Amino acid sequence: MFSDELKLLVGLGNPGAEYQETRHNVGFMVLEEIARQNNCSFRENKKLYGKTCEIPAGINKTRLLMPNTYMNESGKSVRSAKDWFDFKTHELIVLADDIDLPLGKIRVRSKGSSGGHNGLKSVINHLGTNEFKRLKIGIGSPSEIPKERKSRTVSHVLGKFSKEEMVQLNFIIQEIVICIESITANNWEKITTRLNSYKPENL
């Protein structure tokens, strides 16, 4: 059961079958698993420029949003959802991939910069604030060498996870789902500590 404290959960990614299970779409993958576990089906919502589904949360609902604007314009969808559902930014969590974190590492923050992530940058610009919760999921770097990393970044984030990586990722996604569904008004710091220190047993 979701808490009344969480009004909107946004997963960042790119729409279309060609981007399914790519590293850049890990935010979508978490939302799809949450929807599956809660028997919730996503529906196209043109007003919000994305796909949404609703899950009971106390006397209210938690809404899941997958923008269909492509990554760089994700903020357009999030802003539309904020205006339509009239929630506060502290009632929002955004899930995104992070190339600076190794696979298996999770980083949770209550505010901060985009860290160079174009989707988060768009959300910050459209909301006019960086004070919203975000959960970054490590996808690893294509190289430790700066020149190689820069030239291989696009192919890396748009590449699909390997079978071995998917096994590891499934453990990570399950941990994230458990933590998100257990959020209350008073335990955000505890959830943050648990996720930030998480390491799958098989890594």
Per-residue confidence (pLDDT) for residue 142, from 0 to 100: 84
DSSP 13: -
Q: In terms of Cα–Cα distance, which of 144, 103, 138, 97 is closest to 117? A: 97
> Measuring CA to CA, how many Å separate 186 from each of 50, 136, 203?
31, 21, 31
| pTM as predicted | 0.93
Dump pLDDT digits (tens) for 109-141: 999 999 999 999 999 999 999 999 999 999 998
- Per CATH, the number for 8-196 is 3.40.50.1470
**Residue 86: left if φ>0, alpha if ψ -120 to 50, beta else—which one?**
left
State the catalytic residue, choosing from 24, 90, 126, 156.
24
Per-residue confidence (pLDDT) for residue 144, from 0 to 100: 80
Ranking 81-85, 172-176, 179-183, 197-201 by mean pLDDT, the lowest is 197-201
- What's the one-letter identity of residue 70? Y
Dump pLDDT digits (tens) for 33-86: 999 999 999 999 999 999 999 987 666 788 999 999 999 999 999 999 999 999
Residue with tokens 């960042």: 12
Asked if residue 35 lies in contact with residue 53, where contact means CB atoms within 8 angstroms, the answer is yes
The residue among 4 and 15 whose pLDDT is bigger is 15
Task: Report residue 4: phi and psi, to 5°.
Answer: -60, -20
Active site residue 117: no
Per-residue confidence (pLDDT) for residue 6, from 0 to 100: 82
- What's the one-letter identity of residue 184? T
Per-residue confidence (pLDDT) for residue 3, from 0 to 100: 63
Spatial neighbors of 81 by CB under 8 A, at least 6 apart, are 8, 10, 48, 50, 52, 63, 65
> Longest C-alpha distance within the chain, in Å?
52
Ranking 96-110, 118-132, 189-203 by mean pLDDT, the lowest is 189-203
Tokens of 54: 């609703």
